[in-house]
Structure 1
């Protein structure tokens, strides 16, 4: 037996020199819990009048609006993602590889950019109404309200579900579906009776991502003028003299988030979907679409056109209008540099914080490591507007000198997106044989030398994936940036937001297009290999 093999066969023992890693991991988890903890402290200071004002009929309406929108978007996203994933993975769809890439590209478009484009295209006096005017159509139904928010969020969140379902399909044993068809099931019957039940875990995981995204969304619902918790919190913060009532309203939203998490946990707690045997590692036999080929292509083209082509075309149109009229674009390049700078800094800091957490979770499983892991995900469950307000309250009271500095902004990004970096690192770390690290220590290298010379080179793909994912989501983040960015520190997101509020559509289009270009780069890193997202 080799040295590495004999060492790997021994159980890993706790080593005192790992206490530094534990301290860093616990500190990172505590950082993620700080906003929620401070919100609880601030809400406890609210008087009875503040609680009575918040817990009113208006709050109930916000609760119903937010829950209804989350449920509707999640259902519609599943209805889109499930057939698209099946068509692109299990059928002889023409140009399947191209469709796999095209159908996830809406992830690069922030929801508020999509909302801006849809308002210009489909809103009052928009492009569609102008096209129909020669036909005698004087007005079209308004896109504002629930319908507009639902349409926008569905089209720009269904790729989250699509990626997870696609990865689940690739992990399924194709022999099960083939056995069902050999027993007389049609391809459609095997899909509903065999494939879909095996995709319950990916469906639940993807649905949770979509629901949390909708609950935390601020830009799209604000542009579509649909009242949800995030919009109400933002408006109330600007008009309320008693900020404790804002903290209470934030806690109501947090409670809704944890109800969604509890429902997901209760459904998956006793679920068992693993194989009895090892299964097969072969590619599935593709199903012929035959007469359904053209309807499938038309459906995919329609979804891709609305979610991808329409926003990009609208932005290019208004940019060309601005250029033809001599419009200037002040501050757009500095905003682009600020966006790249803040996103890169957030990606580096977040990955650095996540490394000790991933190490203790993977290498030292136990009650404490599980607690650290769960605590690190608390910030991810909080909407950006809630984290931003918590840090505003904390910095003004505890460390006033940090208010509206880049340090607080990066701290907020790290809290919000820490689990994204942890997931990439954990997936790479579990593939590193522990015996390799033990062999390095046997050669008189300490833990830090072993990490930098052995472990880090082996987990570089996970580091890059985590960095790219944090970079992408930071680039698109709006509410935390609006509330926490230093004065005159404009990003592309805040630049677009300000210009659309001032009805400078050409300037907003320039910021939007640059934002799409910057967001597309990490998309290529993350999904350019066409492997999807592993759960």
Structure 2
């Protein structure tokens, strides 16, 4: 560990990490610049309003509630699947990951279109929790699967109960997975727009969109974006403090066997029923709503040419953005894990900031930056891919970091002692060990990009339409039948990425 801390940081690696961080900070620079232009007096007048207090209360309360709920739910489900004799574990694992294929705004559309009374805080809490809990469940289940069962057996041999072993041995090792998942949930909720707009629960994101979209009040929107950035920074600082400086890698895979499973006994079927009920809410309701509106919606239509064009555009943009984002995450994570320092920590934390900003703010920042610096990329797909990389870099960072933290650094040292250079060591030793994390990060980013809305509306070249933008155009006009085919295609396109995630997290029967 000491050798790792003192290892010299390769200049090219540092330059690449800093370049990614600077790219991610463009929206923050935009907000800060316009905040200075507006001036402190006007900013205070804009912020010190009852409306801002209401938005702050709504945003913080919903974020705290959803983060807590997804951590509890994700951890409980991971323990149930990985540490008990739950029947059909492989099937349940696949179904519990499946809600990732249903975008949050499609989930919100499903609930609202069935019952218009589902709105406000309770509706937002329900939909966000059902949509985002897999972001905690997946890393928690993977971490449980990777633990050495001997550690738990030693605890039992010392006379500790299963519950005490869970609290003293297992949970501390799940800290990176749980904190990483909770951070993703919090950051994505801070930037969530579609689902919250449909559910009529005002947060800073929906308010910023309203300001830009209706009155184009740039000053008020910039002031609210500044508050949103502060919330993001507080969330990142809390995560950094809770994560600490522990190392979780180990040599080898421990015993080549599964951990001992706790018999559920009389609780077996009640717990099976509880998991099934959760899946009915997370998957059954959206499926029912889509089928219902496809069958009986008066506005339902199937413009095949438009559907095919939107689907192909969505896949192409999502694939390009996912690969670019994952590649950008590698140097940042490598610095943070293999060359820990204040600079590397600052680089990593900087990469998270823009994720809390609404897509419309990121879009406006890139419009201004591109026109002033590189006007040739304005209104091109390249600028849109850059926006995706800025927005969804944290999804790749969390997945890649989880893999790199469990890749023993001593293997790098062994390779270096044999005369293998850093680049060759990364290619032959480290990258193969974190291939699962790279795949999971790419799949998560693909899922996010395929459903991104506001930045796509602002930055896409003229005439470019995605499934998300076409769905939003119809659903915002309450043409639920017309929106249903686009929502269905969104779900179908998301399925392969979800299956890829499940394959990377394959479990034994």
Is 1:63 the counterpart of 2:56 in the alignment?
Answer: yes
- 1:129 equivalent in structure 2: none
Distance in 2 between the 1:197 and 1:12 partners? 26
Is 1:251 the counterpart of 2:243 in the alignment?
Answer: no
- 2:209 equivalent in structure 1: 234
Is 1:525 the counterpart of 2:500 in the alignment?
Answer: yes
Post-superposition shift, 1:235? 0.2
Per-residue CA distance 1:118-164 (angstroms, 9 max, x = gap): 112233xxxxxxxxxxxxxxxxxx11211111110011111112123
Post-superposition shift, 1:51? 3.6
Number of aligned residues = 500
- Shift of the 205–345 alpha-carbon distance from structure 1 to 2, 3 Å rule, reads closer
Is 1:338 the counterpart of 2:330 in the alignment?
Answer: no
- 1:102 equivalent in structure 2: 95
Summarize the alignment of residues 84-483 of structure 1 with structure 2, pairs less than 5 Å apart.
Answer: 84-123=77-116, 142-172=117-147, 174=149, 199=174, 202-269=177-244, 281=255, 282-321=257-296, 328=303, 331-358=306-333, 366-395=341-370, 402-422=377-397, 427=403, 430=407, 433-434=411-412, 463-483=438-458
Q: 2:469 aligns with which of 482, 491, 494?
A: 494
- 2:15 equivalent in structure 1: 23
Is 1:44 the counterpart of 2:39 in the alignment?
Answer: no
TM-score (norm 2): 0.84
Q: Would you say the 8 A contact 1:198–1:273 is kept in 2?
A: no
Distance in 1 between the 2:219 and 2:370 partners? 15
The gaps in structure 2 that reach 5 residues or longer are none
- Shift of the 417–436 alpha-carbon distance from structure 1 to 2, 3 Å rule, reads farther
The DSSP-based 3-state class of the residue aligned with 1:146 is: helix
Distance in 1 between the 2:7 and 2:67 partners? 44
- Shift of the 195–240 alpha-carbon distance from structure 1 to 2, 3 Å rule, reads same
Post-superposition shift, 1:528? 1.5
Post-superposition shift, 1:335? 0.8
Per-residue CA distance 1:296-349 (angstroms, 9 max, x = gap): 111011001110122123212322346997654562111111111111221232
Q: Would you say the 8 A contact 1:329–1:510 is kept in 2?
A: no
- Shift of the 152–278 alpha-carbon distance from structure 1 to 2, 3 Å rule, reads same
Q: 1:509 aligns with which of 470, 481, 484?
A: 484
- Shift of the 160–181 alpha-carbon distance from structure 1 to 2, 3 Å rule, reads same
Distance in 1 between the 2:185 and 2:455 partners? 19
Report the more deviating stretch, 180-189 or 479-488: 180-189
Higher CA-based Rg: 1
Q: Would you say the 8 A contact 1:440–1:450 is kept in 2?
A: no
Distance in 1 between the 2:8 and 2:49 partners? 53
Q: Would you say the 8 A contact 1:351–1:418 is kept in 2?
A: yes
- Shift of the 65–359 alpha-carbon distance from structure 1 to 2, 3 Å rule, reads closer
The gaps in structure 1 that reach 5 residues or longer are 1-8, 124-141
- Shift of the 62–198 alpha-carbon distance from structure 1 to 2, 3 Å rule, reads same
Q: Would you say the 8 A contact 1:180–1:190 is kept in 2?
A: yes
- Shift of the 437–11 alpha-carbon distance from structure 1 to 2, 3 Å rule, reads farther
C-alpha RMSD over aligned residues: 3.9
Report the more deviating stretch, 381-390 or 48-57: 381-390
Per-residue CA distance 1:404-444 (angstroms, 9 max, x = gap): 432221111111223444555563695694478759987xx
- Shift of the 437–189 alpha-carbon distance from structure 1 to 2, 3 Å rule, reads closer
- 2:460 equivalent in structure 1: 485
- Shift of the 24–178 alpha-carbon distance from structure 1 to 2, 3 Å rule, reads closer
Post-superposition shift, 1:268? 3.7
- Shift of the 115–419 alpha-carbon distance from structure 1 to 2, 3 Å rule, reads closer
Post-superposition shift, 1:32? 1.3
Distance in 2 between the 1:220 and 1:325 partners? 21
